[in-house]
Amino acid sequence: MTTMTDHEPQGTSVPATDAALAVHNLWKIFGKGGDKILGTPDAELPRPELKEKTGCVVGVKDVSFEVAQGEVFVVMGLSGSGKSTLVRCLTRLIEPTAGEVIVDGEDVTKANESRLRELRRNHASMVFQHFGLLPHRQVIDNVGYGLEIRGVPKKERRAKAAEVVDLVGLSGYEFSYPDQLSGGMQQRVGLARALAGDPKLLLFDEPFSALDPLIRRDMQNEVIRLHHELRKTMVFITHDLAEALKLGDRILIMRDGEVVQVGTPDQIIGAPADEYVRDFTSEVPRSHVLTLKWVMHEPNGDAGDGPVLQADQIVKDAARVVLDHHGPCRVMDGDKLVGVVDDEDILRVVVAEEEAPA
């Protein structure tokens, strides 16, 4: 029996008009004379060879992607893959060697110093792993710091700061100092500080990596909640695949500075671009990520009048209905029949999980 995964499109780009962020052919080559390497065969050398030959390191190599308004876009890769360099190039905390970064229609790489400061304050706020809170300021004034720099009057910035402090669940701690707060709470202050300026784009550079697993989970849920509430466009950097799958509408996987794959979580798990992606996604429970469109089969005249399920339902969530119904269930995309799914389709996914390497 053939499944219907072969025709699955990869979600690599969004219509240009919808893009909150568009990155085109971005390069960062660290080291003296890095810009001279661009466009030469040396740029294609593996990292160790290039380093040996020129002393330069390619941090980001010809990366292009687009992020839609309101999307949570995760950049995922192992240590050294170039994630931090990439996210820092977006606001030129690291100066790119070449390429375009378009935020809300404006090319950040062309901005002068004062415009760049404005873009960082008003358009793209960053949440870092190390919170960078000012130790002698209370929570409320840490959160309002960016507004203060912008010249917002005290009363107004305190009101705005109080609003976002409440939003991130820190009401009651407005007048605490950072060292009186746990790591998770400090990261909430970092989040509130990023939100205070009402930026269009929120950039997260491994914000939860230093937190305990349980607090980390809480913070991930907090990001999901805030996203539902505010619908801000987010770019989230992580080396943790589970975090990427939990948060990302789409995930970009990097290796050695390059893009290996861009796709929705189910595309990454269902159709890994190469052995590298297949390898590190191999332990993910597929039924928790794949949707029915990955496991259904062609109707072949057996659509019947069984229960109706939607193609974008996660297999795990649909499994009970399918297993309880003796016979095929119809899979719809809206009101169009696109396939059928039966016990065997569901069990094949679950058995594959059982057989995955431990």
Find out whether 195 and 167 touch, Cβ atoms under 8 Å: yes
Nearer to ligand ATP, 36 or 136 (CB): 36
**Which one, 28 or 246, has the nearer CB to ligand ATP?**
28
Cβ proximity to ligand ATP: between 80 and 183 the closer is 80
Residues engaged in binding ligand ATP (CB under 6 A) = 30, 57, 59, 77, 79-85, 239
| Least distance in angstroms from the C-beta of 255 to ligand ATP | 9
Least distance in Å: CB of 90 to ligand ATP?
12
* Closer residue to ligand ATP, CB minimum distance, 32 or 326: 32
Distance CA 241, CA 227 (A): 19
Q: Which lies closer to ligand ATP via its Cβ, residue 45 or residue 323?
A: 45
> Cβ 77 to ligand ATP, closest distance in Å?
5
> For residue 240, which of 75, 125, 60 has the smallest C-alpha distance?
75
CB 164 within 8 A of CB 195: yes
Where do the H-state alpha helices sit in 123-206? 139-143, 145-149, 154-167, 183-196
Q: How many CB atoms lie within 10 A of CB 13?
A: 15
Q: What minimum distance in Å lies between the beta carbon of 58 and ligand ATP?
A: 7
What's the CA gap between 300 and 342, in Å, rounded?
A: 13
- In the complex, least distance from residue 66 CB atom to ligand ATP, rounded to whole angstroms: 21
Q: What span, in angstroms and rounded, lies between the C-alpha atoms of 118 and 37? A: 32
Residue 236 neighbours by CB under 8 Å, 6+ apart: 72, 73, 74, 75, 204, 207, 223, 244, 247, 248
Instruction: Pick the closer one to ligand ATP by CB: 81 or 142.
Output: 81
Nearer to ligand ATP, 82 or 178 (CB): 82
Return the structure tokens found at 323: 């297993």
- State in angstroms the smallest separation of the CB of 254 from ligand ATP: 7
Could you give the C-alpha distances from 278 to 256, 260, 286, 288, in angstroms and in order? Answer: 17, 11, 12, 16
Nearest distance, CB of residue 209 and ligand ATP, angstroms: 8
